[in-house]
Amino acid sequence: MADRRAIGIVGLGMASLPHGKSLLDLADRVEVRAAFSPSATRRDAFAQRFAMPIADRLDDLLNDPEISAVLLLTPPNARQELVHALAARGKHILMEKPIERSTAAALDIVDRCDQAGIRLGMVFQHRFRKASMALQARLKAGELGGVRAVQLNVPWWRPQSYYDEPGRGTYARDGGGVLMSQAIHSLDLMLSLAGPVTEVAAMAATTGLHRMESEDFVGAGLRFESGAVGSFAATTACYPGGIESLIIVGDKGTAILAGSDLTLDFQDGQKEHVSETAGSGGGADPMAFPHHGHRRLIESFLDALDQNREPSPSGREALLVHRLIDALLLSAKERRHVRLEETS
């Protein structure tokens, strides 16, 4: 137990639940020395649920020399100053998506961490589902051949009560709507599996099902660096909410990744299926999913710290999905094809 890494948590809202469960599972590797929220109600609720030490002041966590890494789980509008403070004290950061509300602010955070010599990891837990990791391995081994076509669909649902919470779906707090808050996970996963996107043609809208500042629907055509073509659709207006799906068509077969289930159909007649406990948070309850992916992601981040290497996904990697979102919104706004180099 002496080799456990001491960490802190900043932000004890909804996103802290799967992290708290994961940290209990990883008690042989980590010691949570302090968890902080500016809300006393959230501090009390977290302490009762997870029986972890609470910091009443942020400075108590920042100034603890034993804490070498922090899980940063706040909304994106609360990130920049916190990252600067953590970086100044040499504390590594594992941060919830997105990096910040704008790509310019995100780049500032990534550069600040690099300058301070600290590691910045991102919470894109969809990469760490068993099915996602299996597909990554098949693609890396060339079992599907070259990627020729990609389809990504995120048919989620959020009730109006979700957006009635102050700040939800606003540019000031969240930086946007379905792209930045929900589909960013699936877009990151798509990029990690199918490679970079070079060009998009998109349409975005707010449907009559929601009263909100930003978009709840986006559809687009995609062109990948590999030459593959693709399509993308995401919404939070699809009642009662379905499972996100990613289809990758290769020379030798097709992979269908539906949430936590992977089906591989090869042209030689072989077929494979990989799955684990389902649930993606695509319906009215955003937290209706197991915490397997979060636990594996935190383990991977701890491994990177122990081995003194860059974590994956890193903050620098996450800039790719930020720039893709920028391109999608620019294309929708200006009603034209947009190359991603225009947003870099």
Q: At which residue do the structure tokens 């950061």 appear? A: 93
Looking at residue 2, what is its pLDDT?
44
**pLDDT tens digits, one per residue of 184-229:** 999 999 999 999 999 999 999 999 999 999 999 999 999 999 999 9
Q: Is residue 281 predicted with pLDDT exceeding 80?
A: no
Question: Which secondary structure element, helix H or strand E, spans residue 129, and what is its range?
Answer: none
Whether the CB-CB separation of 70 and 60 falls below 8 Å is answered with no
Averaged over 34-40, what is the pLDDT?
96
Average predicted confidence (pLDDT) for the chain = 95
Looking at residue 276, what is its pLDDT?
80
C-alpha dist (Å) from residue 328 to 192, 215, 267, 338:
18, 12, 33, 8
Pairing of strands 338-339, 197-205: antiparallel
**pLDDT tens digits, one per residue of 76-112:** 998 999 999 999 999 999 999 999 999 999 999 999 9
Dihedral of CA atoms 252, 253, 257, 260 in degrees, nearest 10, equals: -90
Q: At which residue do the structure tokens 């969809």 appear? A: 126
Q: What domains sit in the chain, N to C, each tagged with a CATH number?
A: 5-125+297-312 (3.40.50.720), 127-284+319-343 (3.30.360.10)
Considering the chain, what percentage of its residues have pLDDT values greater than 90? 92
Looking at residue 282, what is its pLDDT?
64
**pLDDT tens digits, one per residue of 161-184:** 999 999 999 999 999 999 999 999
Q: What is the CA radius of gyration of the chain?
A: 20
Looking at residue 46, what is its pLDDT?
95
- Residue 87, CB-side half-sphere exposure with 13 Å CA sphere: 20
Q: Which residues of 325-343 are buried (b: 16+ CB within 10 A; e: fewer)?
A: bbbbbbbbeeeeebebeeb
Dihedral of CA atoms 135, 137, 139, 143 in degrees, nearest 10, equals: -100
Alpha helices in the chain (DSSP H): 16-25, 40-50, 58-62, 80-88, 103-116, 130-140, 160-164, 178, 184-194, 292-306, 315-334
> 276 versus 306: which is more confidently predicted?
306
Looking at residue 57, what is its pLDDT?
96
